[in-house]
Amino acid sequence: MLPDGDGFSLIREFRQHSDVPVLILSACDADDDRLLGLGLGADDYLTKPFLPRELILRINNILKRVYGSNQPALERDSLLLGDILIDFSSGLIHSGKTEKSLTAKEFAILKKLSENRGNIVTADSICQAAWEDGYYGYENTLMVHIRRLREKIEKDPSHPQYLLTVRGMGYKLAKDS
Amino acid sequence: MLPDGDGFSLIREFRQHSDVPVLILSACDADDDRLLGLGLGADDYLTKPFLPRELILRINNILKRVYGSNQPALERDSLLLGDILIDFSSGLIHSGKTEKSLTAKEFAILKKLSENRGNIVTADSICQAAWEDGYYGYENTLMVHIRRLREKIEKDPSHPQYLLTVRGMGYKLAKDS
DNA sequence: GATAAAATTAAGGTAAAAGTAAGGATAGCG
DNA sequence: CGCTATCCTTACTTTTACCTTAATTTTATC
C-alpha cells in the first residue's frame, strides 16, 4: 500500500544487499501478510494499533541482538570531580594521565558519598555501608580512610574542596560547581 | 501461570546468566504482560492462538540474528594483551612463535574477565561463570587457576601487568594501554 | 581561650591472596 | 578394561597489601 510499490518487494530487494534490521509497521494484520513479511527476513511485524512502548521495546531488543554489547552502562557508574574522574566499575581514579586505584574500603566509602552527593552523610551511615558487621567503633578508622581518599582526589588534601567535613555530623561530597 | 512460579521471574533470573534467546508463548495477551516480557529481555512474545508457521518464522529470525552469519566471530572472540594473543575459538595462546593451550576452567575464567575487561569482576561472579553448579567454596581453587593463567599470559607471573587482583573485591583485566 | 571534634602520622596487626605440592578425578587410548 | 596423561581440587605455608590502632597535633565552635 505504499505510493510507489509494495513494501514486500522493497524488503526483498533490500535484504539482498543489507543485513540492517527491519521492523514492519503495518495497517494489515492479515495472517498472510505477516507470514510473508517475516519470511522475507523482517525482524519483527507489528500491526496498528500498537502500544508505543511495545514498539520501543521491540526495537531495543532487535538492536541489542544485532549490535550486541548489552553491557549495563558503565558510564553512569562514575563520578566527576573537577578534572578528575572516578570510575567505580574499574575502581580507578583518572586525573590527567595518571591513574590511581581505590582500595576496597575507600571504594565503599566514596561510593556511599557519591550516591548522596551534595547531601550530608553521617559517619554512622558511612560506616554502615563500609562495614557490614557491627558498624560501631570505626569512626577513627573512617577518618584515616577519608584522609587517604583526600590524598587521592584533592589537590590540597588538608584543604579539601570536594570531600568536605561537616563538623558534628559527618561528611559530604560537594555538588558539582 | 506455571505450576511452580511465574514465567517472568524465571526469565529475569535466566537473563542474569545467559544470553540464550527467549521467545514467550503465552495464553495472556494483556498489554502489560507483553510489555513486561519484552522489557525483561525476551526476544519475542506470541499469544495463543498463533499460526504455527508464524512461530517457525519468528524462531528462525531470532536464530539468524543470534547465531547468524553476520558475526565477525574471530575479532570479537579474541583478546590481545600486549604482544600475546588469546584466541577463544581455538583456545590457544599465541605469543611470538610459541603456542600454549587453555584448559577448560582457565578458558571460562579468562573469558569472563575478557568480557568485562577493564572492570572489576568479583570472585563470586567468576565462580558463577566457571562452575555452573553451586559456585561456592571454589575461591581457593579459583586462585590456583588464576596463578596458572598468570604463568601462561604474564611475563612475570608474580608481578602481573594484565591479570590484576583487586584485594577484597576480585580480579580485573587491565585495559589495553 | 577552653574544649571537643577532626586531622595527621607512623607503626603494627591481620586477613586476603600468593605460592606450592600432592592427591584425585577424568578422558583418551591402547 | 586398565593404563596414562592431563587437568582439577585440596590443603597447607608464606607473603603482602590493606586496615586498624594509638598517640599527637590542629582546627572549629562556644
Q: B2-55: per-residue pLDDT in tens?
A: 666 677 888 887 777 677 788 888 887 777 888 888 888 788 888 888 888 888
Residue A23's CB is within 10 A of a number of other CB atoms, namely 14
* Integer Cα distance of A46 and A44 in angstroms: 7
- What integer pLDDT is reported at residue B177 of this predicted model? 65
**SS3 label, residue B98:** strand
Quick one: closest CA in B to A97, which residue?
Answer: B177
CB-nearest to A90 from B35, B51, B120 is B120
Contact call for A31 and B41, based on CB within 8 A: no
- Taken in order A36, A37, A43, A44, the sign of the CA dihedral is negative
Q: Which residue has the cell 583526600?
A: A150
C-alpha pair distances (Å), B104 with each of A102, A137, B81, B101, B130:
32, 46, 20, 10, 9
- Taken in order A33, B44, B30, B48, the sign of the CA dihedral is positive
Query: pLDDT digit of tens for each residue in chain A (177 aa)?
Result: 666 667 788 888 777 777 777 888 887 777 778 788 888 878 888 887 888 788 888 887 777 766 654 444 334 588 999 889 999 999 999 998 899 999 999 999 999 999 999 999 999 999 999 998 777 889 999 999 999 999 999 999 999 999 999 999 999 999 876
Separation in Å, CA of B116 to nearest CA in chain A: 9
* Integer Cα distance of B173 and B152 in angstroms: 14
* Integer Cα distance of B52 and B85 in angstroms: 46
- What integer pLDDT is reported at residue A71 of this predicted model? 45
Q: Which of B113, B117, B118, B149 is nearest to B128 (CA)?
A: B113
C-alpha cell of A101? 586505584
C-alpha cell of A91? 575502581
Q: Is A29 on the interface with B (CB under 8 A)?
A: no
Q: Which of B163, B23, B6, B15 is nearest to B79 (CA)?
A: B163
Given a contact cutoff of 8 angstroms between Cβ atoms, the answer to whether B99 and B93 are in contact is yes
* Integer Cα distance of A168 and A145 in angstroms: 18
Q: What would the CATH number be for the domain defined by B73-173?
A: 1.10.10.10
- What integer pLDDT is reported at residue A65 of this predicted model? 67
Contacts B117 to A, Cβ<8 Å? none
Q: Is the peptide bond before B49 cis (omega within 30 degrees of 0)?
A: yes
C-alpha cell of A95? 586525573
Tell me the domain boundaries of chain A: 7-70, 73-173
Q: Which residues pair with B47 in a beta bridge?
A: B26
Mean pLDDT, rounded, of chain B: 85
Decide the pairing of beta strands B23-26 and B170-173: unpaired
Residue range B107-130: mean pLDDT, rounded: 93
Q: Which residue has the cell 558510564?
A: A75
* The CATH number fitting domain A7-70, selected from 3.40.50.2300, 3.40.47.10, 3.50.50.60, 3.20.20.10: 3.40.50.2300
- What integer pLDDT is reported at residue A3 of this predicted model? 67
Q: Which of B123, B150, B122 is nearest to B137 (CA)?
A: B123
| Model confidence, pTM | 0.67
| Distance of B140 CA from D13 C1′ (whole Å) | 14
| Distance of A141 CA from C6 C1′ (whole Å) | 12
Share of chain B above pLDDT 70, in %: 89
DSSP tag of A118: T
C-alpha cell of A97? 594521565
Residues shown for chain B: 177
Nucleotide with minimal C1' distance from the CA of B164 is C17
Separation in Å, CA of B70 to nearest CA in chain A: 8
Bigger pLDDT: A144 vs B60: A144
| Distance of B170 CA from D26 C1′ (whole Å) | 38
- What integer pLDDT is reported at residue B76 of this predicted model? 55
C-alpha pair distances (Å), B23 with each of A129, B45, B50, B61, B155:
40, 6, 13, 11, 46
Q: State pLDDT tens for residues B78-102.
A: 889 988 999 998 889 998 888 899 9
Contact call for A38 and B57, based on CB within 8 A: yes
* Integer Cα distance of B37 and A95 in angstroms: 43
Q: What are phi and psi of A161, to 5 degrees?
A: -110, -10
Residues 6+ apart with CB under 8 A from A152: A93, A100, A102, A106
Question: If 0-12 CB within 10 Å is exposed, 13-18 middle and 19+ buried, where does residue B133 land?
Answer: exposed
